[in-house]
Amino acid sequence: MSLPHQIGIHTQDFKALEGVNPAFLEKGLWMAREKTIQAYQTITSQLREGMSESEARRLIYTIFSDLGCKKHWHKPHARFGSGTLLSFNEGQETGPSCALDQPAFLDLGPVWFDSDTQLEYEGDFGDTFVLGENSAATHCANACRNLFQEARKLWHKEPMTGYEVYQFLKTRSSELGFILREDVCGHRVGDFPHNRHTKMSLSETKFIPSKSLWVLEVQILDPEKRFGAFFEDIL
Ligand SMILES: [Fe+2]
């Protein structure tokens, strides 16, 4: 893995911020991502109208457990309707129930064991969907996903610091008529637990973050604040 290129003045040892176990393999992290996305699809197919956030969380735990995953580096979160305006951990389990024609998002953080490297890899994936039909909420969810893709594409083309990536997202969100939640700002991911290396957010990084070690999170709000959308994946 190539080391990041530091830009500007930063008082912390940026190499330490990107630490991994010596046995860590990048493909282990991508494998964890794939499994998490598959679980996401199973979960969304089983969410039902009227489910509360805590009922959805119990369902999520059951589905992961059935897939052989009993460890989560963060609790799974489900947000429904106007609860999608809130961040994943804001006012947990107090949001509205799952309703037809309303958006919902999931934020999943399972830990998957890889027998080849004997390491546990952190999955982290989140996305928004609409259970039923709501063209404005679907438009917001699509915009959120597209913002992520645009930012990642740009970062691959012209390497930028995490701070610069989020500045770009803020400008683009506003051009598209949405409000970026700036406190939802990305983080490290890796072999479990990544947080022994750092709890710094991606938007705080003043160096170019390495590929496959950071998660880019995007949450935008409808300008009328009826709902929001969330998407996150590995940078
Ligand atoms: Fe996350």
- Residue 58 scores a pLDDT above 80: yes
**pLDDT at site 95:** 80
Exposure string for 75-96, b = 16+ CB within 10 A, e = fewer = ebbbbbbbbbbbbbeeebeebe
| Residue tagged 């409808």 (tokens) | 222
| pLDDT classification of 233: cutoffs 50, 70, 90 | very high
Q: How far is the CA of 1 from the centre of ligand 1 (A)?
A: 22
- How far is ligand 1, taken at its centre, from the CA of residue 106, in Å? 10
The answer to the question of residue 19 being in a domain is: no
Q: What separation, in Å, do the N-terminal and C-terminal C-alpha atoms of the chain show?
A: 14
- Determine the distance separating the centroid of ligand 1 and the alpha carbon of 73, expressed in angstroms: 10
- 214 alpha carbon – ligand 1 mean position (Å): 9
pLDDT tens-digit map of 161-185: 999 999 999 999 999 999 999 999 9
- Token pair recorded at residue 157: 């083309």
Task: Flag whether 4 is in a domain.
Answer: no
The alpha carbon of 185 and the centre of ligand 1 are apart by a number of angstroms equal to 9
- Residue 220 inside a domain? The answer is yes
Distance in Å, CA 119 to ligand 1 centroid: 20
Task: Report how far ligand 1's centroid is from the alpha carbon of 202 (Å).
Answer: 11
Q: What CATH number is attached to the domain comprising 197?
A: 3.90.230.10
**Percent of the chain with pLDDT strictly greater than 70:** 94
Q: How far is the CA of 75 from the centre of ligand 1 (A)?
A: 11
Measured in angstroms, how far is the CA atom of residue 194 from the centroid of ligand 1?
A: 12
Does 60 map to a domain?
yes
Q: Tell me the CA–centroid distance for residue 231 and ligand 1, in Å.
A: 9
For residue 44, what is the enclosing H or E element? helix 26-46
Report the pLDDT value the prediction gives residue 8, as an integer from 0 to 100: 43
Gap from CA of 187 to ligand 1 centroid (Å): 7
Tell the residue number behind the tokens 């609409």, with chain if given: 130
Does residue 155 sit within a domain? yes
What does the pLDDT read at residue 12? 56
- Whether 6 is in a domain gets the answer no
How many domains are contained in the chain? Answer: 1
Domain-located, residue 86 = yes
**Ligand 1 centroid vs 147 CA: distance in angstroms?**
16
Amino acid 85 reads L
224 exposure class (CB count in 10 Å sphere: 0-12, 13-18, 19+): exposed
Radius of gyration from C-alpha coordinates of the chain:
17
Polymer length of the chain:
235
Domain membership of residue 154 as a residue range: 24-234
Q: Does residue 223 form part of some domain? A: yes
